[in-house]
Chains A and B, each alone.
Chain A
Amino acid sequence: MALAQHEVVRAQTEANRPLEYDEDGQRHILGFWLFLATDLVLFACLFATYQVLVTHTDGGPVLSELFELGGVTAETILLLTSSFTGGLAIYEMRRGNLRGLIGWLVFTVMLGLAFIGIEVYEFVTFVGEGATMQRSAALSAFFTLVGTHGLHVSFGILWMISVIVQLLRFGIQPVTARKAFIAGLYWHFLDVVWVFVFSAVYLMGVLG
């Protein structure tokens, strides 16, 4: 039972809270925040491992010499923009505008795909220069940290596609609104993690 635009808005104002925050939604959203906390700890462990091992190059390629800031800056811009468009999608959802919601989600997915494309290209270049994951502890840590983030982003893309499919089938109603909102949270979270990857790995690598 999809809700029409004005119904969405009315349901929201009557309950004095957004559609995705019905009783079930509140539980799911809190649960998802807790999941993000666990994911954050996971990333913290990978960051710590990276910091410990980054100098352990075993005479092989040195990360700071491999980095090309051009590609990475493009990645950063893409991901930050996609976080913004993801936010716009939720904004449209709250206005009950299904087409706007789906449109911005599709746009977000495209930006995500571009991000992954550049990352894969970077990895392939590194491997071509002999900087493989198996070469040294520093490279193992680098590929694992950045790759884990990349895998999260790829998963996020698949997830958003699944949400888009559901929105097309069921329209905006409490369950799909909740799913879109939570997928959005996940996406913003990955953006925040990326800011740390960008500064702690790439910027500090090049500067330090």
Chain B
Amino acid sequence: MSLWPTEPMVQASLVAIILVSIGIIFTLTYFKKWGWLWREWITTVDHKKIGIMYLICALLMLFRGGVDALLMRIQLAFPDLQFLDAQHYNEIFTTHGTIMILFMAMPFLFAMFNIVVPLQIGARDVAFPYLNAVSFWLFFFGALLFNISFVLGGAPDAGWVNYPPLSELTFSPGPGIDYYLLSLQISGIGSIATGINFLVTILKMRAPGMSMMRMPMFSWSVLASCIVIIFAFPALTAALALLSLDRIVGTHFFTMLHGGNPMMYMNLFWIWGHPEVYIVILPAYGVFSEVVSTFSKKRLFGYKSMVASLLLISVASYLVWVHHFFTMGSSAGVNSFFAVASMAIAIPTGVKVFNWLFTMFRGRIRLSLPMLWMLAFIPTFALGGATGVMLAVAPADYQFHNSYFLIAHFHQVLIGGVVYGMLAGLYYWWPKMFGFQLVEKLGKWAFWLFNIGFYVCFMPQYALGLMGMTRRMYEYPSGMGWNGLNQVSTVGAFIMGIGFLLIVAQILYSIRHGKRDTTGDPWNGRTLEWSLPSPVPHYNFVRIPEVKGRDAWWMMKQEKGDEATSTPSSSIQPIHMPNSSGLPFLMSLAFFVAGFGLVFHQFALAAVGGIGIGICLFLRSLEQDEGYMLSPKEIRRIESAQGRL
């Protein structure tokens, strides 16, 4: 099989990829930046840098997923359009969904975990810095493997849920599905490691005095999300592994012949899949909790009930998975159980919404960008939750299932919840990451366009769903009465696209013109990350702070006033730091090679990758990595450059 594609669209993408790669290589060589890239980024184990790398990847993937979305919306703008053929449409909705959940939402969250959690809990790094780098590079190479599929052999085309028997070898013989299986498997291992890493970080590395009930709400939400990752992701690992065995070894787990049972895949997939939606939404709740209290200049209302509802949701998220296939013939008893359980999740969610509202009540509200996204989130998410409850009514779901009503529901919770949440977090913590603020004006334009675009795009889809338009159709005849609403929806999608571009423009413009953040505390924040200079030095805290209550930084400011930020020079002690390492990158590269070999059933290549992984593991195991000490002199130099001495 020749790898050079024959279709114009694929050829164009390939040429674009090659040109961009050449451009990057040229720029790096011209400016002699290879050594810098290797030392400062590729081998780093610093959680803040890893967070920034996650962020860049997430934004790139948001762009790619967004382009996919616009292509689909163009195709659906008019009846009988021939813009995309059926095969391309299938590939594009599959890559769109998979990328948005696994290669956009997940790294966006992990960016926030990495950048914020250690700073909020007063730690110098995560529990396992080396493992953290492994997680990132596994994600990176998983995403890379997924993204090259479109130009090398064909993208997966069985939907982001990848149900058998369609995804079995008999019906999908090409490499597309294998790309899906292996890239998700590789990045999934990284996600599990991240879950473990941050749970241990939060449990074991809090500053003295920070009891669990004094922990900032974002860190609580990360804790809840990590618990769900730990108990849900292995089910995805299993589902992917068994389907891979079917395809590569010839077993019969989910085939139509020899006793296979495709329903088993669906169960395993959604035992991960439903908790997954809570993995991505819980940290967004956390961001909103931080934002609402900072920008209302008040303590978070109902802290304890916030914690309780987070934990309740994380447990309950395991008890609802069957609502994704009410129509597949379970008994009425089973369907009823899962229907009621699904609806029950709305209760703790409602508690949180009221707590946010009460936090704002009589607060001194500032309408900065993070707060705007927070405010837009509440009605959007409430409506999304309400349609969720409608879908959870099992008999009614026979009507809604797999229609555009469902599409509108989950975009409303995922965009209105997760994307708004991550954007709020991005704006909120941006100065902390980069040391300058993003200009408000462009951001406000982006905000309004994105929001209006959202409603214009998705409200019509509820109606289309009720009018019988099913998901995943690549064209529809005129005369169904769907034309107008589809056109409106496409217009909305483009408005959102412009909104996204304005965010990019805002970032680029602010790099030159943004206001420097010299205080480290531009929003008058309440939690410990705002006690540090921006950007934060690589050791985070000169001295690990003593925490005396919730909103620790706020209390310190009340107590000490302007003195709160300065460090007495005499108190500076040497700091123990972990060493950088190239092994996480190399090991993940080996994973990539092994995955690529398996995609094309080239077992020799896969074995080379496998041996590479083994060697890296062994080298790491034999390494006595004790880190290094940062001298007080060096620390004093850095601190005084930040004006902190």
Contacts and interface: CB of A to CB of B under 8 A. Distances in A.
A37 B232 CA distance: 11
Contact of A144 (B205, B242, B260): B242
Contact of A134 (B237, B251, B621): B251
Nearest to A42: B234
A45 B268 contact: yes
Given A49-B268, A144-B251, A31 B259 contact: no
Contacts, number: 111
A144 B238 CA distance: 11
Contact of A166 (B231, B238, B622): B622
Interface in A116-143: 133-138, 140-141, 143
A138 to B, nearest CB: 6
B253 A34 contact: no
Nearest to A37: B230
A46 B241 CA distance: 10
Contacts of B199: 34
A137 B235 CA distance: 19
A38 to B, nearest CB: 5
Contacts of B258: 56, 58, 60, 134-137
Contacts of A30: 200, 203-204
Nearest to B229: A38
Nearest to A24: B127
A138 B260 CA distance: 8
- Max chain A Cβ within 10 angstroms of own Cβ: one of B192, B203, B234, B268: B234
B426 to A, nearest CB: 29
Given A31-B128, A38-B192, A58-B258, A53 B200 contact: no
Contacts of A199: none
B261 interface: yes
B251 A140 contact: yes
A26 to B, nearest CB: 7
Contacts of A37: 230-231
Main secondary structure of the interface of A (DSSP, over half): helix
A41 B196 contact: no
Given A34-B230, A35-B196, A170-B624, A162 B238 contact: no
B9 interface: no
A52 interface: yes
Interface in A1-50: 26-28, 30-31, 34-35, 37-39, 41-42, 45-46, 49
B196 A27 contact: no
A37 B196 CA distance: 10
Size band of the B side of the interface?
35 or more
B251 A56 contact: no
Contacts of B242: 49, 144
Interface string B236-267: 01110010011001111101011111001000
Contact of B196 (A31, A137, A141, A165): A31
Contact of A26 (B192, B204, B235, B259): B204
User: Chain B contact residues: over half helix, strand or loop, or mixed?
Assistant: helix
A10 to B, nearest CB: 22
B197 interface: yes
B117 to A, nearest CB: 15
Contact of B245 (A31, A58, A144, A166): A144
B618 interface: yes
A156 B486 CA distance: 57
A175 interface: yes
B259 A136 contact: yes
A53 B264 contact: yes
Given A45-B238, A144-B242, A27 B127 contact: yes
B233 A53 contact: no
A154 interface: no
Interface string B525-536: 000000000000
A49 B238 contact: yes
Interface string B135-146: 000000000000
A82 to B, nearest CB: 21
A110 to B, nearest CB: 21
B310 to A, nearest CB: 18
Given A46-B238, A53-B261, 20 more contacts: A27-B204, A28-B128, A30-B203, A31-B197, A37-B230, A37-B231, A38-B192, A38-B196, A41-B232, A41-B234, A42-B238, A45-B271, A49-B242, A58-B258, A134-B251, A140-B253, A141-B253, A162-B618, A162-B621, A175-B624
7 contacts: A27-B205, A31-B197, A34-B195, A38-B192, A56-B258, A134-B249, A137-B255
Interface of B: 127-128, 192, 195-197, 199-200, 203-205, 230-235, 237-239, 242, 245-246, 249-253, 255, 257-261, 264, 268, 271, 618, 621-622, 624
Interface of A: 26-28, 30-31, 34-35, 37-39, 41-42, 45-46, 49, 52-53, 56-58, 60, 133-138, 140-141, 143-144, 159, 162, 165-166, 170, 175, 179
